Copies of this chain bind each other. A is one copy, B any other.
């Protein structure tokens, strides 16, 4: 199996709703993002897919999140915009754009330094 992984990033604010209905204060994070895709064999170029193509697909997905309040985002706001849910959102938007035969393995989103959340669509 082969994998390729690219990095992206965006800055955005959010506030999690606590189970008792209260909310955290609105606060900003710099969200580093890593996307990992897989293929069982390489293509005519010897690659899973072009790194820069994958990075552009990721950028298309995260650009609309940049400098937003994620609580006001139409899809992320209603479901609590945790790092876990941001990772799943990016995965859901990215997977259908991948070339045939290339499978999304993992999306990892960093929140504070030393804190990362991943969504693994296949597991």
Contacts and interface: CB of A to CB of B under 8 A. Distances in A.
A114 B54 CA distance: 11
Interface string A89-123: 00000000000000000000001111111111001
B82 A45 contact: yes
B6 A46 contact: no
Interface residues of A, number: 40
- Name which of A4, A18, A48, A87 has the most chain B CB atoms within 10 A of its CB: A4
Given A44-B19, A45-B19, A46-B80, A111 B51 contact: yes
A5 interface: yes
A114 B6 contact: yes
A46 B1 contact: no
Nearest to A118: B3
Nearest to A112: B51
A116 B4 contact: yes
